[in-house]
Amino acid sequence: MFQPQGIEQRSIMTSLGRMVYYTATGSPWQDQAIAKPEKQTLVFLHGFGGGASAYEWSKVYPAFASDYHILAPDLIGWGRSEHPVRNYQIEDYLTTIREFFQQTCTGPVTAIASSLTAALTIRVAIAHPELFKSLILTTPAGLSDFGEDYSRSFFAQLVSVPIIDRLLYSTGVATEAGIRSFLEQRQFAQANRVYPEIVEAYLQSAQQSNAEYAALSFVRGDLCFDLSLYIQQLTTPTAIIWGQKSQFTGPEIGRRLAEKNPEAIRVFQQLEDVGLTPQLELPAVTIGLIRQFLPIVNSQ
């Protein structure tokens, strides 16, 4: 995959296999003359979808590497992490996300996560609040929120048919044309913001051996849930960024979720003219918002 300058690949072992992550260890981030001795930790967690990986945050996390300890994993089944041959379930990610924090972090940290992974991170924070100092989330949706059942959609039903599911993945997802089409038509608000490196990074991840298992579990709806049933239990200070043109779940869903827990959710920011992943589509704006929100969610 693509690694920013000064970023090293490491790994841990989870209950489902090896999880790769990226952290700032080289020049210029770790030069003794400029490095800060005591750095807080920021963990960047990517969302799901064909070709997803930690690359999703790679235009954002280097901006924080001088001031923070940066961790950005490829979740199990994605990127360079292990791809167990299994039908993935919600509990698989609740468990392995928790294991990642327990093994790599020495105290409460700020998690910055996107999409369905952000919704799962909320559930991990509810069950294990001691692991989290704060959350900054982009479009955190369970994709079955407020009773909407994504798994009943035509596409989810189609992908549930054996043989057809693998065929759709190999011909419609794990190809350059398939990746570009999805990014331009579904993930980004503006197609001209999709450039060749993004397509190639997603394609490399989508073509990893057994990559289809996690992707198809996601598309079938096996990992979706109703976040509105959980979000009131959240006590970790949280800020939410929501792309105004997110095609899967619009900002009205985000506002309804935020209104269910105004004590924990301190900020809800709708971002105009951006889709599901502002961290890739408008990385400079996303960096600015994260910097703005960090003192808000980390204040007592």
Cβ atoms of residues 155 and 168 within 8 Å: no
Structure tokens at 202: 């997603």
Cis bond upstream, residue 28 (ω within 30): yes
Q: Is residue 1 part of a domain?
A: no
Q: Which domain holds residue 71?
A: 7-297
Averaged pLDDT in 10-residue chunks for the chain of 300 residues: 88 98 87 64 96 97 95 98 97 98 97 98 98 98 87 61 72 88 94 97 96 92 95 98 92 97 98 96 98 94
Q: Is residue 225 part of a domain?
A: yes
Torsion angle in degrees (nearest 10) through CA of 236, 16, 47, 90: -70
At 33 the pLDDT is 46
Structure tokens at 167: 């065929």
- Indicate the residue type of 126: I
Total structural domains within the chain? 1
**CATH number of the domain encompassing residue 274:** 3.40.50.1820
Structure tokens at 24: 């700032």
Q: Is residue 112 part of a domain?
A: yes
At 163 the pLDDT is 63
| 120 CB-near residues (< 8 Å, 6+ apart) | 90, 93, 94, 97, 223
Q: Is residue 2 part of a domain?
A: no
Neighbours of 73 (CB within 10 A): 29
